[in-house]
Amino acid sequence: MAAPFKTLQSRAVHLPMNDVDTDQIIPARFLTGTGRTGLGAHLFADLRFDQAGSPRKGFPLNAPGIEGAQILLAGKNFGCGSSREHAAWALVDFGFRAVIAPSFADIFRGNALKNGLLPIQLDSDETATIAEAVKADPSILISISLEDQQLEWADTAVMFSIEPFARQCLLHGVDELGYILRFQREIETFERRHKAEVPS
């Protein structure tokens, strides 16, 4: 269960790449742990660091002044590939609370929402406009209000859409398992019927 998400104001880091897969977000060799924490150190490991472990110049997360940025501005189909929830855990552990992109892969979007990481889908023109603003002034602050479903920077504001259930869960830090457990009776009723229909 993640803490409630209501508003966020932060600088953004722009990662201008489409189809960033979860193997890039957190390479498989870091998946041998049994916990959810500590993965931020390996976020984008092979893009951030060379084989000797030195930061790669030019990778946006290595740019000076990005410390404390909580918003990642990404490309189309962010989070495609493997279902590893470690990708969302790594982003959160690194300090990100929101990812803005023109589109997300299905499993990643679900994993992000379950970890208090807000995936904001905007159209390509809008993300490009934000990217321009961040490029012009990397210290520009972007404000997100989940209540109002609004994103603001400088003198510009755009609305974003989000599925009502996901919004409620984030706003109130709803525990999804707790929510499902409320329907135990329905599950039992279903199981009895299902067992009769499909005995094997």
C-alpha to C-alpha distance for 190 and 200, rounded to whole angstroms: 16
177 binds other proteins (CB under 8 A): yes
Binding mask 156-175 for other proteins (x = CB under 8 A): -------xxx----------
Return phi, psi of residue 11, to 5°.
Answer: -70, 165
Of 183, 155, 185, 2, the C-alpha closest to 88 is 2
Residue 17 binding other proteins, by CB under 8 A? yes
Would you count residue 77 as binding other proteins (CB under 8 A)?
A: yes
Q: Which of these segments, 56-64, 90-98, 100-108, 140-148, binds other proteins (CB under 8 A)?
A: 100-108
Comparing CB distances to other proteins, the nearer of 11 and 84 is 84
Q: Where are the alpha helices (DSSP H) in the chain?
A: 22-25, 45-48, 86-94, 106-113, 124-136, 164-172, 176-181, 184-197
Our CB check for other proteins shows the closer of 137 and 176 to be 176
- Evaluated on CA atoms 75, 115, 135, 157, the torsion sign reads positive
- Restricting to residues 28-47, name those near other proteins by CB under 8 A: 28-29, 31-36, 46
Binding mask 107-126 for other proteins (x = CB under 8 A): x--xx--xx-----------
**Amino acid code (one letter) for 82:** S
Which region, judged by CB under 8 A, interacts with other proteins, from 55-63, 70-78, 142-150, 154-162?
Answer: 70-78
Residue 61: alpha-carbon gap to chain centroid: 16
Residue closer to other proteins (CB basis): 157 or 180: 180
What does the alpha-carbon distance between residue 134 and residue 66 come to, in Å, rounded to a whole number? 11
CA–CA separation, 38 and 153 (whole Å): 31
Q: Which chain residues interact with other proteins by CB under 8 A? A: 16-19, 21, 23-24, 27-29, 31-36, 46, 51, 75-77, 80-85, 88, 103, 105-107, 110-111, 114-115, 163-165, 176-177, 179-181, 183-184, 186-187, 190-191, 194, 197-200
